Structures are given as structure tokens and as C-alpha cells.
Amino acid sequence: MSLYSAVKPLLFRLPAETAHATVHAGLRTLQRTPFLSTVDDALSVESSRLRVRAFDNTFPTPVGVAAGFDKNAEIPRALDALGFGHVEVGGVTADQQDGNPRPRMFRLREDDAIVNRMGFNNDGADAVGRRLREQPLPDSPVGVNIGKSKAADDAPADYRYTYERVADAGDYFVVNVSSPNTPGLRDLQHRDHLEAIFAELLDAGASPLLVKFSPDLSRDAIADGVALAEELGLDGIVATNTTTERDDSLRSPARFEQGGLSGKPLQERATSLVRFVAERTDLPVVGVGGVFTAEDAYEKIRNGASVVQLYTGLVYRGPTIARDINQGLLELLDRDGFDTIEDAVGADL
């Protein structure tokens, strides 16, 4: 039995957000101790076969932490030590925001899923930017997910303000226009709004710049967004964010909670969208949604994802998940006769 198997039932007795804060506090403590290197040695899988080059970054492994887990850029080194190949912090907004009223995060235990309606709670761009500049960061890439402040009327200017506060420390930047928990945010996914936001950020020098789409967008709208990203010279696409839709197969009573659904129920849909995007562009794709195992990650990679991200899987599988996936990916590469993980990207297209 793993340590997490013993601790997990205790954590799951706590409200979901309280448990997250508890884990977060533990990782902050770990990050300040000499034991961080011991954890790194135990959980990092070092192999040149797993190295990925995408949007001007080199990722030691293709498995990263999705935005939302470390909203305020407090524990990137601790997450790196768990064996992840990159960490995406945020979403960060120009304004400090408390987010939506609690409770706002719910486990769907029977479904290996989470529903959240956090509402971009974060310390704000000034504080997060300062934290990124002042603390030591891992050698692996640190991305910054940028969202719109709830009170902002001028979205392009709001995104630019945030970018300029985090620009010096981020290795890549993701325009988040797809969270379901900020009123009106998803309207910005349409072409005219996107073009204004991208133009403002590109004028500010944002690079590498990616955009994150919702799985709830129509395929025509996603194709239009991908085409715009190519036209304007963006560097990648993140597919996907959480979904507000609910499948009839969900069993947990919490399925009726409002907010974005993540985890296993999103897995097939997210992989399908990764494939849809990869078939329409040569831009690198970041695959997000329902990654729990090496097989889950490998499926997204074979369908066109250069790297993958997870959040809910970390909650349900615990701190060894990156190591387990990376070890499993090496076995899958051997099985299928690929020399490197880059050789497997898009193999099923």
C-alpha cells in the first residue's frame, strides 16, 4: 500500500477545497526543506526518450500540471520535484479576486471527476508576477495561464496588464478565454474578440503565446479559432478546458453542481478535440482532460498532443502519478517501436 493510499481517505473526508489547501500547504513546506531533492530523486524519470521540444521550450517529460492547481505560483519547484515536466500556474488576472462563494469545488468520487466553480480566485498579477520573479524556479518550463478580471470592461487591456506583470518569469503564456466560471468569458472565444486580445498581447511582445479552448465550443468555432491562431503567428493550442455539460453516465450526486467538470468523464471528448485540432494545424497541441494513466497520456500524444497536462488525476492518484505515467510511457514506446515520445506524436492521425 502506498502512503497516499493511506492518506487519501483522510483527505477525502475534508471538503474538496480544504483538502486542496492542506496538500498545497504540505508542498509549500516541502519546497523549503532539503527533502525536496530526495523527493525529486525518487519521483523524477530521466530519459532523453521522453524529451519534447515545443513552442520554444524543452520539456524533460511530456507530463505537466494543468492551470488551477497552483493558481498563485507558490509551489512550482515542489510540483517539479514530483516528476512533472512542466507546471502551468494561474489562472492569473489583473485584479486580485476572491472568486465565487464557497463551497465551489466538489468531488465526484464515483466518476473520478471534480466540478469546480472557483471563479479565477487568485492574488492578482502584481503579486503573482513578483512571486515568480523573486523565487527560484525549476529548470523545467513554467507557463502562466492568463484570465480576464471579472470587473474588466476592456478585455484586451486587462490581458495585457497581466501579461506585462508576469512576462519576465514565464516560459510560455496561455490566453484563457474558456473557463466556465467567469460571466461572459467564453464569449471571448469568438473570432473578433480573440483577434483583439491576441493583437494586444502580440503588440506587448507575448511569446510563446498559446490559447486554451473549451470543449463546449462548436467544432466550427474551434476550427475558426485555430485558423486565427495560425494567421496571427501564435505558438500553440491547449485542448481543453473543463466542460459545463453532464453526461447521463455520471453517478455521483455532485454531478448536479454548477461549474466546470474535469477528470475521467472528459477523457474521450478531450482526446477527440486534440485530434480535431491537430488535424487542422502544425502548431503544437497541449492535451488536457482525463489523464490518469500512461495509456491516457499516450492516447492523446498519438492523437497529436506534443505534451499533456493533468490536475484531477493528481487528486485521485496522488503524488506518484507523474512518475507512474512517465515510466509507463517508456514501456509503451518500447511496445510500439518508437525511439522517442516525439516520434509517437500524431501517430494515429
Which whole-number Å values give the CA distances from 105 to 24, 29, 122, 128, in the listed order?
15, 24, 15, 22
85 is in an annotated binding site: no
Q: Does residue 168 lie in a domain region?
A: yes
User: Does the annotation count 179 as an active-site position?
Assistant: yes
311 is in an annotated binding site: yes
Q: Exposure of 269 by Cβ count < 10 A (0-12 exposed, 13-18 middle, 19+ buried)?
A: middle
57 is in an annotated binding site: no
Q: Does residue 106 lie in a domain region?
A: yes
pLDDT of 186 reads 63
Q: Does residue 317 lie in a domain region?
A: yes
Residue-wise pLDDT tens digits, 77-122: 999 999 999 999 999 999 999 999 999 999 999 999 999 999 999 9
Q: Does residue 96 lie in a domain region?
A: yes
Where helices occur in 119-189 by DSSP H, the ranges are 125-134, 155-166
145 is in an annotated binding site: yes
Q: Does residue 249 lie in a domain region?
A: yes
Catalytic residue (one of 178, 179, 262, 306): 179
pLDDT category, 1, cuts 50, 70, 90? low
Residue-wise pLDDT tens digits, 139-172: 999 999 999 999 999 999 999 999 999 999 999 9
pLDDT of 284 reads 98
Q: Looking at residue 314, which CATH number applies to its domain?
A: 3.20.20.70
Residue-wise pLDDT tens digits, 174-232: 999 877 777 665 666 778 889 999 999 999 999 999 999 999 998 998 999 999 999 99
Domain count, the chain: 1
The pTM assigned to this predicted structure is 0.97
Report the alpha-carbon distance of residue 281 to residue 234 in Å, rounded: 11
Q: Does residue 349 lie in a domain region?
A: no
263 is in an annotated binding site: yes
Which residues have C-beta within 8 Å of that of residue 283, sequence separation ≥ 6? 226, 229, 230, 234, 235, 236, 237
pLDDT of 233 strictly over 60: yes
150-189: burial string, b at 16+ Cβ within 10 Å, e else = bebeebbebbbbbbbbbbebbbbbbbbbbbbbbeebbebb
Residue-wise pLDDT tens digits, 4-56: 999 999 999 999 999 999 999 999 999 999 999 999 999 999 999 999 999 99
Range of the structural domain that residue 253 is part of: 3-344
